[in-house]
Amino acid sequence: MFNVEDVRRDFPILDTEVYPGVPLVYLDSAASSQKPTSVIAAMDDYYIHYHANIHRGVHRLSELATSAYELARQKVARFINAPTTEEVVFVGNATEAFNLVAYSWGRTNIGPGDEILLTEMEHHANIVPWQILAREKGATIRYLPIRDDGTLLVERLDEFLNKRTRLFSFTGVSNVLGTINPVTELVEAAHAVGALAMVDAAQTAPHMSIDVQALNCDFLAFSSHKMCGPTGIGVLYGKRELLEAMPPFLGGGDMIRRVTLEGFTTNDLPWKFEAGTPRIAEAIGLGAAVDYLNHLGIDAVHAHEQTITQYALESLSEVPGLSLLGPPGSLHGGLASFTLGGVHPHDIAEVLDKKGIAIRAGHHCAMPLHQKLGIPASARASFYVHTTFEEVDQLTAALHHTRSVFRLN
Ligand code: PMP
């Protein structure tokens, strides 16, 4: 188990005073995590010492940059236990990964009357690309419901999966409820009716180990910026035979083998899906983020978050008028979403901000989920490797203070 005080020294931003004399309490890692020095240094090193375009130069710097970019891919492949680096495509973020699959796989495999199954707890990134596709192709989208406690109604899967279902795309961990879903079971259920399974791992990859071979998922998507890496890069894992059969998403340089005035042939995987100059510095930063999480140990990261989250759920439940969203106990990932009496979450976030506490307020890009819950918005505190019990205490105290500001009885 790592020492949280040591970990905190790895994140220079944690020394920030957000207002004079008010230190930062960063409880918004689920929106985007902070970056350890090693990630920042890896990107600096690239820009200072060996920046050049990759894959096409024969000069020394280009070779160095190409190796670093491809080494980052190897690190990511190992991190999720992908069988080969060909199945690890660098994209802009998780959102782009969904759009890539919806555009490339979806437009060749989805037709009128086909069904795509999602769940009621999805992020817009795993809803809107399928809605665009379904609208264009005359397909139907269905949503597996959730229970009141924020878990999926898995026992009703039979009603929602059938021989028309082409794809079941669902989140590993809900960014609002914190629910940790039974991914293997959901993948198996999709495969049992001949559908593919895509996993939204945006809130999973930063927090717990992923083994795409054990999960047997067909596609899996996540973003670097939530797992200690830079913004601007994400990952699409896809099974090789699927990626091979899919047409390119974006056209241009790098994704081709040969171009004539009449047409083109595509490059090998994974470059077929990486058109144009890629996110070189960002890939190197993501590789360093993977190194950092491996150095802490991803199981230790998960264990730390579980301890902090249990503590936070218990502490927050004692704030009068506060309603926690999502399931209790070990089914709950590293965040706590809540409402507080009739106070608008934006007002809560503003009061907390004055105390240096950064939380997220709003619909968290999950409007359908909030509609289902019958609330316009919620407040969310999210935890990561550097979160301490003291910070949770500060959050709880600030919420008691919020109650007095808004004169809640
Ligand atoms: N899915 C989930 C569950 C998320 O939490 C997020 C980010 N909030 C995304 C997808 C989209 O990630 P990005 O904005 O980095 O593409």
Q: What is the DSSP string of 62-129?
A: HHHHHHHHHHHHHHHHHHTT-S-GGGEEEESSHHHHHHHIIIIIHHHH--TT-EEEEETT--GGGTHH
Mutate to test the pocket of ligand 1, among 175, 335, 369, 382 (most ligand atoms within 8 A of CB): 175
CATH 3.90.1150.10 domain residues, the chain: 4-30+298-405
Residue type present at position 103: Y
- The tens place of each residue's pLDDT in the chain, 409 residues long, gives 999 999 999 999 999 999 999 999 999 999 999 999 999 999 999 999 999 999 877 899 999 999 999 999 999 999 999 999 999 999 999 999 999 999 999 999 999 999 999 999 999 999 999 999 999 999 999 999 999 999 999 999 999 999 999 999 999 999 999 999 999 999 999 999 999 999 999 999 999 999 999 999 999 999 999 999 999 999 999 999 999 999 999 999 999 999 999 999 999 999 999 999 999 999 999 999 999 999 999 999 999 999 999 999 999 999 999 999 999 877 899 999 999 999 999 999 999 999 999 999 999 999 999 999 999 999 999 999 999 999 999 999 999 999 999 988 6
Q: How many angstroms does the Cα of residue 398 sit away from the middle of ligand 1?
A: 27
Cβ contact 8:20 at 8 Å: no
Nearest ligand 1 atom to alpha carbon 225: 15
Give distance in angstroms: CA of 178 to centre of ligand 1: 13
Contacts of 404 (CB under 8 A, 6+ apart): none
The yes-or-no answer on residue 365 being catalytic is: yes
Q: Quick one: pLDDT at residue 57?
A: 77
Tokens describing residue 309: 């989250």
Which one of 41, 154, 365, 367 is the catalytic residue? 365
Location of each CATH 3.40.640.10 domain in the chain: 41-294
Q: Report the nearest-CA residue for atom 5 of ligand 1.
A: 175
- Closest ligand 1 atom number to CA of residue 226: 15
Nearest CA to ligand 1 atom 4: 202
Choose the residue to mutate in 200, 228, 360 for probing ligand 1, maximizing ligand atoms within 8 Å of C-beta: 200
The two three-digit tokens of residue 239, written as one number: 């099974």
- Residue 396 has a pLDDT of 98
**Burial environment of residue 6 by CB neighbours within 10 A (0 to 12, 13 to 18, 19 or more):** exposed
What would be the CATH architecture of the domain defined by 4-30+298-405?
Answer: Alpha-Beta Complex (3.90)
Question: What token pair was written down for 35?
Answer: 């970056």
Residues with CB under 6 A from ligand 1: 93-95, 123, 125-126, 171, 175, 200, 202-203, 223, 365
Question: Could you tell me the distance, in angstroms and rounded to a whole number, from the CA of residue 57 to the centre of ligand 1?
Answer: 34
- Residues 160/117, Cβ–Cβ less than 8 Å: yes
pLDDT at position 330 is 76
Distance 226 CA to ligand 1 centre (A): 9
pLDDT at res. 56: 78
pLDDT for 407 equals 87
pLDDT at 329: 76
| CA 14 remoteness from chain centre | 22
Question: Given ligand 1 and candidates 365, 369, 380, 382, which is best to mutate, with the most ligand atoms within 8 Å of its CB?
Answer: 365
Q: How far apart are CA 199 and CA 275, in angstroms?
A: 24
DSSP state of 161: -
Spatial contact of 337 and 324, defined as CB atoms under 8 Å apart: yes
- Ligand 1: centre distance to CA 385 (Å): 19
Q: What is the pLDDT of residue 328?
A: 84
The residue with tokens 């091979």 is 244
Q: Kindly indicate whether the domain formed by 41-294 is annotated with CATH number 3.30.9.10.
A: no
**pTM of the complete model:** 0.98
Instruction: List phi, psi (to 5°) of 184.
Output: -60, -45
pLDDT for res 359: 98
* Predicted pLDDT at 28: 98
Q: How far is CA 279 from CA 28, 37, 48, 68, 294, in A?
A: 25, 20, 16, 12, 22
- Ligand 1 centre to CA of 174 (Å) is 10
